[in-house]
Structure 1
Amino acid sequence: MAGEGSTPATVSTSELAAVLRARDERYKNMFDALTKQQGGGGRRQETEGREEIHPLQMLLVKLEGLESYASWAEHAETILVSRKLEGYILGMVEKQAEEESKEGQMWRMTNALVRAWLLSSLSPKIAKQVERIKEASEIWRLLKGTFSGVGNEMIACKIQKELQALSQGERYVVDYVSELKRLWSDLDFYDSIDLEYGKCIEKVNKCIEKRRVRDFLNGLNSKFENRRAAIYGNTTLPTMEQAISAIISEETRLNLETVGSAIQGTAQRRSALYVVEGGNYPRPTTDLTEKKCFECGQPGHFRFACPELIGGGRGRGQD
């Protein structure tokens, strides 16, 4: 080591270059990571800024007329919302003034996609009425005004009559509930109740549910009379889900009892038949000469009439 008063050692240019190169290698990985992160962020922002269009699945329900509109509209809007395209039918995405701009081309392409998809979900007769309309939102508005039937008293009256005449009959509980819920959904659509306050809406919904629980119970098959009486015997009615679950459990129990009774009856019949066939009575045969005696092995007679036993002194003689 040099002393305190010694002259400091000089560093040559080649040595300084070697030190800088070593430092560059040390921090190279860090610089590469930062550069990659900045580049990835830029690409991610570019991707987020670009609108992507996903393929639309075909509707299982086609618009045939008034009766199918509610189901068709619900399915159509659900699919478009899942692809963030509902604005093109609800009018929230307006047509761009400059069609040749990037935004204008995107609107034109997406509108054409939604329009073609809507036309493919219509019956041929209805599709001919709107196929010349270029904007998807206008097609949606026209179909809604023509086929929605909201506020149509004739349709609401028809659904109400079907509900009053509906009963379980011989169908399963699940099928009965499915038909009930379909009619209730249609009635809510065509005879909707508009309320402003949340508490009022909550009270009305509870009142409607109580009535529907009664309708469900009253339409059940008579074999559920005991369980129905037990439900009505409570101080408060259960919810619709609880009532359905209770009746399905009762249906399962009754089915198991029926199967058990059938199995028991079959077993008893088999047991009785076994006793009769396994007794001391000889079974009828078509040809006695074909049967052989178990005692002597000769054909033509049974063991109780065997000559060997009769003449053999064993006390088994016959008249």
Structure 2
Amino acid sequence: MTQGSGIPIKSDQKTEFIPPSSPLYIHPSESPNLSLSQIIFDGDTYQLWADAVRNGLDAKNKLSFIEGTVKKPVIQEGEAETLEVVAWRQCNAMVKAWLRNAIHPKLHPSIAFSESVVEIWKELRDRYSSGNAPRVHPLKSDLNECKQKKNQSVVEYYTQLKALWDELSTYSKVPQCTCGAANAMLKEREEEKVHKFLMGLDGVLYGHIRSNLLMEDEVPALTRAYALVLREERHRAVTKIKEETVEAVMAAKTGADSTKEGENSGIIRCTHCNKLWHTEDKCWDKLGIQGRGRGRGRNNARGG
């Protein structure tokens, strides 16, 4: 029996197939060389890597394999393998290959002999997830020191902040409750983000808009604050382009006026020796003529 993209598999008395909606289904385009995440796990930042891998498996409808909700079908001794058994074994092998592609080769020996995906996932979680607590301190330190650098755009600065916020949120979860305290905590966190974003802006460029936002009765939403600052940045960019264009036009006009003034001044300059009051065809230096007297030389130097 073989399993493919919904291709029927013939049994003794009936035709069976794995439906595309099943986690046991393997699409024809999927292969063991597929990469679930651009992040390669090397023993650090486990939570960030695990979230990326879970997202990739969820997109492939294979998240249940690392969660252990898709159990390996049981076969009684002496019975032939069923379609589900074959499909489970193929999917388990495929997901194992995907996980290996997302893990640094130095860690491969530690998972080489695990038979199922759920065993590999549990081994990595137990070994590395508890070691992420010290990561919170450097994250908060980086967040505290994060400010808009010189010539750094607002988009780049905000992206840097958001990456720190997102990673920190994976280690600091807001507990669920029905009393409203969780919503209050979330609101407070969002207000802290707004203050951090505004205070880290370049004070020379955006000090006035920061003051205006902080003077409002309520702390603005982060999306609104970001949009207003971004609009101010674009306005400054357009204004700067206009100013530079005007300066370039004025400089060109000034240069043209100077050239015209020189042409109309009546001053003659030799193009050979660069001296005044004679032309190249009467240049003594070029003709090899030496002056014979101060007065005569001066007159001749003037093209006399």
Q: Which bracket does the TM-score occupy, shorter chain normalised?
A: 0.7 to 0.9
2:121 and 2:58 map into 1 onto residues whose CA distance is 14
**Deviation per CA, 1:227-251, whole angstroms, max 9, x where unpaired?**
1111112111221111111111111
Shift of 1:191: 2.5
Contact 1:111 1:135 in 2 (8 A): yes
TM-score, structure 1 normalization: 0.71
Contact 1:77 1:86 in 2 (8 A): yes
1:52 is matched with: 25
Bigger RCO (CA 8 Å, 6+ sep): 2
2:223 is matched with: 241
1:140 and 1:93 map into 2 onto residues whose CA distance is 14
* Structure 1: runs of 5 or more not aligned: 1-42, 292-319
Shift of 1:49: 8.6
Is 1:231 the counterpart of 2:231 in the alignment?
A: no
Contact 2:16 2:83 in 1 (8 A): no
Aligned equivalent of 1:134, options 97, 115, 136: 115
1:229 and 1:284 map into 2 onto residues whose CA distance is 62
**Deviation per CA, 1:261-309, whole angstroms, max 9, x where unpaired?**
2222222222221111111223744144358xxxxxxxxxxxxxxxxxx
Is 1:289 the counterpart of 2:285 in the alignment?
A: no
1:71 is matched with: 48
1:6 is matched with: none
**Deviation per CA, 1:105-164, whole angstroms, max 9, x where unpaired?**
221111111111101110011222112111101111111222224771x21111111100
Judged with a 3 Å threshold, the aligned counterparts in structure 2 of structure 1 residues 119 and 224 are, in CA distance, closer, same or farther, namely: same
**Deviation per CA, 1:71-110, whole angstroms, max 9, x where unpaired?**
3222211121122211100111112221823222221111
Q: Alpha carbon RMSD of aligned pairs, Å? A: 2.7
Secondary structure of the corresponding residue to residue 278 of structure 1 = helix
1:130 and 1:229 map into 2 onto residues whose CA distance is 55
Judged with a 3 Å threshold, the aligned counterparts in structure 2 of structure 1 residues 200 and 270 are, in CA distance, closer, same or farther, namely: same
Alignment of 1:93-132 (within 5 A): 93-98=70-75, 100-132=81-113
**Deviation per CA, 1:177-220, whole angstroms, max 9, x where unpaired?**
11111111111112223233373322211110000000000000
Judged with a 3 Å threshold, the aligned counterparts in structure 2 of structure 1 residues 149 and 181 are, in CA distance, closer, same or farther, namely: farther
1:283 and 1:131 map into 2 onto residues whose CA distance is 90
1:158 is matched with: 138
Judged with a 3 Å threshold, the aligned counterparts in structure 2 of structure 1 residues 149 and 192 are, in CA distance, closer, same or farther, namely: farther
Contact 2:143 2:164 in 1 (8 A): yes
Contact 1:169 1:221 in 2 (8 A): yes
Q: Which amino acid aligns with 2:25?
A: E
1:190 is matched with: 171
Judged with a 3 Å threshold, the aligned counterparts in structure 2 of structure 1 residues 150 and 213 are, in CA distance, closer, same or farther, namely: farther
2:173 and 2:140 map into 1 onto residues whose CA distance is 13
Alignment of 1:165-180 (within 5 A): 165-170=145-150, 171-180=152-161
Q: Which amino acid aligns with 1:286?
A: T
1:309 is matched with: none
Is 1:262 the counterpart of 2:223 in the alignment?
A: no
1:232 and 1:239 map into 2 onto residues whose CA distance is 11
Alignment of 1:27-38 (within 5 A): none
1:97 and 1:112 map into 2 onto residues whose CA distance is 17
Is 1:62 the counterpart of 2:40 in the alignment?
A: yes
Contact 1:66 1:149 in 2 (8 A): no
Larger Rg: 1
Secondary structure of the corresponding residue to residue 180 of structure 2 = helix
Q: Which amino acid aligns with 1:289?
A: T
Q: Which amino acid aligns with 2:260?
A: G
2:38 and 2:161 map into 1 onto residues whose CA distance is 21
Identity across matched positions, percent: 22
* Structure 2: runs of 5 or more not aligned: 1-14, 273-277, 282-304
Secondary structure of the corresponding residue to residue 66 of structure 1 = coil
Q: Which amino acid aligns with 1:52?
A: Y
